[in-house]
Amino acid sequence: MSTRGSGPDDGRPPLSVLPFLRALVEAEGSDLHVKVGSPPRIRVNGRLRKLQAPELRAKDTEHMVHEVLRSDLVTQFEEANEADFAYAFADVGRFRVNAFRQRGSVGLVFRAVSIGATPLSALGLPEVVAPLSLEPRGLVLVTGPTGSGKTTTLAAMVDHINQNREVHVVTIEDPIEIVHEDKNAMINQREVHVDTSSFAAAMRAAMRQDPDVILIGEMRDIETVKAAISAAETGHFVMSTLHTVDSEETVTRIIDFFPPHEQRQVRLSLAGSLRGILCQRLIPQLEGDSRAVAMEVCINTGRVAEAIADAEKTSTIAQLVSEGGYYGMQTFDQHLTELFRNDVITLDAALASSSNPHDFIVELRRLGLVD
Q: What is the predicted pLDDT for the residue at 94? A: 85
Question: Which backbone phi and psi does 180 adopt, to 5 degrees?
Answer: -105, 145
Cα 135–224–242 angle (5° rounding)?
65
- Helix, strand or coil for residue 34? strand
Q: What is the predicted pLDDT for the residue at 8? A: 52
- Asked if residue 67 has pLDDT above 60, the reply is yes
Count the helices and strands in the chain (H runs, E runs): 14, 14
pLDDT winner (highest mean) among 7-21, 269-283, 287-301: 269-283
Question: Which backbone phi and psi does 71 adopt, to 5 degrees?
Answer: -60, -35
SS3 track for 267-332: HHHHHHHEEEEEEEEEEECCCCCCEEEEEEEEECCHHHHHHHHCCCCHHHHHHHHHCCHHHCCECH
pLDDT-based confidence at 2, cuts 50/70/90?
very low
**CB–CB of 280/295 below 8 Å?**
yes
pTM as predicted: 0.82
Least confident of 14-23, 128-137, 190-199: 190-199
Question: Which backbone phi and psi does 285 adopt, to 5 degrees?
Answer: -80, 160
CA atoms of 166 and 183, how far apart (whole Å): 9
Q: What is the predicted pLDDT for the residue at 34? A: 97
**CB–CB of 211/236 below 8 Å?**
yes
Cα distances (Å, whole numbers) of residue 328 to 34, 129, 156, 241: 43, 9, 19, 20
Q: What is the mean pLDDT of residues 273-278?
A: 98
Q: What is the predicted pLDDT for the residue at 245? A: 94
Task: Tell me which residue of 61, 65, 68, 66 sits closest to 14, measured CA to CA.
Answer: 61
- End-to-end CA gap in the chain: 49
CA atoms of 33 and 272, how far apart (whole Å): 43
Counting residues of the chain whose pLDDT is more than 70, the rounded percentage is: 97
Task: Tell me which residue of 367, 332, 329 sits closest to 352, measured CA to CA.
Answer: 332
Q: From the CA atom positions of the chain, what is the Rg in Å?
A: 22
pLDDT per position as a tens digit, 205-262? 999 999 999 999 999 999 999 999 999 999 999 999 999 999 999 999 999 999 999 9
pLDDT-based confidence at 10, cuts 50/70/90?
low
- Asked if residue 7 has pLDDT above 70, the reply is no
pLDDT-based confidence at 177, cuts 50/70/90?
confident
Cα 63 from chain centroid (whole Å): 30
* Neighbour count for residue 241 (Cβ, 10 Å): 21
